[in-house]
Amino acid sequence: MKRILSIVIVVFVAATVIFTSCGPKDETGPKIYLLGLEGVILKDYETDTTVLLYTKFVDPGVLVEDNATQTANIIVTSNRTTVLDTTSAGYLKKVLSVDLIYTATDDELNVSTRARNITIANIANAFTNTYVTTRTTFNLNNDSTYNSNVVADTRVPGRLKFPKVYAHYWDGEKSYFKINADLFHPGLSQIKSESIGYMGTADDKERPFFSAMSYEQGIDSILCFTYLRIDAQYYQDSVGGASHQVYISGVEDQVTHLPLSRIEYLFGSKTVKRIVLELNVTKNGLVDRVTEVYTPY
């Protein structure tokens, strides 16, 4: 009687093994949910993120779950180190748009991916626009009006690029100059940084004053800056066979030494009314006093 019972038990165990091995294989990858800074699961339309150039990206991370594998055993990786270019201090150092890809792998080596789009933007974006430009000079006979697309630098925060400064005809050829203008505030660094212009704090020219701000906070904070510092820039070219040398520099107040180039706002608002560049243009030894007014198109 005991022997018959033993045989029955062996048969039952064998049948269980066979049944288990014949079950459906797990071929479903883990689910990946993108998180916000507060740890809340984001909806699909909330997953794009814009951050400031020369801030440190804080990854909110992801939440994962699987139909078979315990959450603790799911392996999660990302391509952060390959798509985000940072300084040795961890600051994002180039304007670009990238997809941060998260990859989740379960016990059966099923793989899922999910993307978080990250746009790195210059704090100077607050002033990028198409402007109607009016130029007056001492030495050119004709005043000039034209359109100019002012853009932000891709690497230096707070730097604007004016592409058609002093546009005119020289020796029968169209001539103009691309200049850089750095946003400037008397309460910040007075010493220029090669990395961040004049965006450093009063105590540290290499630490951006906005380093702990979100994109929205940074844009709001920059919309009270009224000065543009234009350091001397040198150009040399050959037009019509003649060698031309040009120096362009911003003009300062002789008493305060603050830049005269400025941003003007509509009264009591943060809406840009116009940008005014006050320049000395030295062309082949002759100095021309120039004012260029940029009015939003």
Mean pLDDT of 107-132: 97
pLDDT value at 182 more than 80 = yes
Q: Provide the H-helix boundaries in 152-279.
A: 215-222
Confidence band for 166, pLDDT divided at 50, 70 and 90: very high
pLDDT value at 12 more than 80 = no
* Residue 36 tokens, joined: 């916000």
CA distances from 217 to 19, 47, 57, 204, 206 (A): 61, 19, 15, 21, 20
pLDDT value at 109 more than 90 = yes
Question: What single string gives the DSSP state of each residue in 246-282?
Answer: EEEEE-B-TTT--BS-EEEESTTSSSEEEEEEEEEEE
Average pLDDT, the chain: 90
| pLDDT tens track for 89-102 | 999 999 999 999 99
* Residue 240 tokens, joined: 């019509």
| pLDDT tens track for 218-245 | 999 999 999 999 999 999 866 555 567 8
pLDDT value at 267 more than 50 = yes
What pLDDT, on a 0 to 100 scale, did the predictor assign at position 241?
A: 52
- Phi, psi (degrees; rounded to nearest 5) at 26: -70, 115
Burial of 186 (0-12, 13-18, 19+ CB in 10 A): exposed
Nearest Cα residue to 31 out of 90, 102, 86: 102
pLDDT value at 181 more than 50 = yes
Cα dihedral 46, 50, 124, 204 sign: positive
Cα gap 195→223, rounded to integer Å:
21
Query: Do 113 and 130 meet the contact criterion of CB atoms below 8 Å apart?
Result: no
CA distances from 205 to 196, 246, 257 (A): 8, 30, 19
Cα gap 40→51, rounded to integer Å:
19
Percent over 70 (pLDDT), the chain: 89
Look at the domain 123-296 and name its fold.
Lipocalin (2.40.128)
The length of the chain in residues reads: 297
CA distances from 46 to 12, 22, 42, 52, 272 (A): 54, 43, 6, 18, 29
Domains of the chain by residue range:
25-121, 123-296
Query: Do 175 and 115 meet the contact criterion of CB atoms below 8 Å apart?
Result: no
Q: DSSP assignment, residue 41? A: B
Query: Do 103 and 112 meet the contact criterion of CB atoms below 8 Å apart?
Result: yes
Query: Do 177 and 244 meet the contact criterion of CB atoms below 8 Å apart?
Result: no
Mean pLDDT of 50-67: 96
What pLDDT, on a 0 to 100 scale, did the predictor assign at position 104?
A: 98
Confidence band for 17, pLDDT divided at 50, 70 and 90: very low
More confidently predicted of 239 and 83: 83
- Phi, psi (degrees; rounded to nearest 5) at 203: -90, -20
Question: What single string gives the DSSP state of each residue in 24-35?
Answer: PP---PPEEEEB
Cα gap 167→145, rounded to integer Å:
9
Mean pLDDT of 144-161: 96
Confidence band for 37, pLDDT divided at 50, 70 and 90: confident
Give yes or no on whether 25-121 and 123-296 have one common fold: no
Question: What single string gives the DSSP state of each residue in 112-148?
Answer: EEEEEEEEEE-GGGGG-EEEEEEEEESS-SS-EEEEE
Q: Judge if pTM exceeds 0.95.
A: no
- Tokens 């070219």 belong to residue: 237
What pLDDT, on a 0 to 100 scale, did the predictor assign at position 22?
A: 57
Class of domain 25-121: mainly beta
More confidently predicted of 248 and 167: 248
Confidence band for 285, pLDDT divided at 50, 70 and 90: confident
Percent over 90 (pLDDT), the chain: 78
Confidence band for 7, pLDDT divided at 50, 70 and 90: very low
